[in-house]
Structure 1
Amino acid sequence: MRKLSKKSRITATVAGVALVAVGGGAAYAYWTTTGSGSGSAANSAGGGTVALHATFNAGLTPGNQTNVAYTADNLTTSSTVVGALTANVTTSVPECLPAWFDVTAVTSNSTVAASATGISVGSGVLKFNDSTDNQDACKSATVTVNVSSQ
């Protein structure tokens, strides 16, 4: 092995110090860098509605009432809250007057999770009012409670 001259040693030392300085400077710049940016994506437009159901016992007669259970199916990809419920009655026989029936809908303001079915969202009462009119047309008629939410 040959000995380096004094000039070669100084050159090698300066080159080494320069490499360390350049390498250290790059690391320093990396750790103190700044920047900014942003990202965006559109939210869901709500993608649909829930299906509401009213369930009650059959066999209602004039002057009697039955409880109504309101449930919801949410086939969307996000949860939703079912708010104020409204309900009305229709019948399968035109002579069986919907005016002879009263139905209530007490809202529970329930959250219905995405893809959930059969979730209770309220309750009410269906009453078949007794009348002085002949109500025979309602015998075997199908009574339907229609429910909606706002």
Structure 2
Amino acid sequence: MRKLSKKSRVTAAVAGVALVAVGGGAAYAYWTTTGSGNGTATNSAGGGQVTLHATFAGGLAPGNQVSVAYTADNATTSSTVVGALSANVTTDVAGCLPEWFEVTAVTSNSSVAANTTATPVGSGILKFNDSAANQDACKSAVVKVNVTSS
């Protein structure tokens, strides 16, 4: 095998460097362009109703009162805020008059997270008012507090 002269070695080295430089430059080549686009999705319908509950102790008698706790269940996929509460009383006995009872609903404008139950949303007082009339019809009657939100 023949030995390369110094000039040939230098020429070969320069050619090798040039070849690597040219090949390396190709690795960084790219195209430039412009573009645009968009994406869409539909939001939750929301607006699902919450289920409200009123909880209070039993055993009311004329002249007594108990505290009422109002809670909400939200089975929808979005959170919501429970606004103004209003409440009224009904009974399961015709002679036990709802007007003998007084119920309040203090609203807290509470946020109720999606898929939650028993979230506190307010409080109040349920009173069984004394009346000059005979209130015996209310003995053992079931008193129901109906609550709504607006």
* Unpaired segments ≥5 residues, structure 1: 1-12
Q: Structure 2 matches for 1:83-122, cutoff 5 A?
A: 83-122=83-122
User: Structure 2: 5+ residue runs without aligned partners?
Assistant: 1-17
The percentage of counterpart residues that share the same residue type is: 69
Q: Secondary structure at the match of 1:140?
A: coil
- TM-score, L = length of structure 2: 0.79
Deviation at 1:76, TM superposition (A): 1.1
Provide the secondary structure at the position in 2 that maps to 1:37: coil
Task: Give how far 1:23 is off.
Answer: 7.6
SS of equivalent residue, structure 2 residue 137: helix
After superposition, where does 1:62-73 map in structure 2 within 5 Å? Answer: 62-73=62-73
Q: What do the CA deviations read for 1:21-65 (whole angstroms, capped 9, x no partner)?
A: 9886x61x33xx222222211111116211110000100111111
Q: Between Structure 1 and Structure 2, how many residues are aligned?
A: 131
Runs of 4+ deviating beyond 2 Å:
19-24
How many Å separate the matches in 2 of 1:105 and 1:34?
61
Q: CA RMSD in A?
A: 2.1
Aligned position for 1:10: none
Distance in 1 between residues matched to 2:88 and 2:142, nearest whole Å: 14
For residues 95-123 of structure 1, the C-alpha deviation after alignment (integer angstroms, 9 at most, x for no partner) is: 11111111000011111111111111100
Q: Which residue of 1 aligns with 2:75?
A: 75
TM-score (norm 1): 0.79
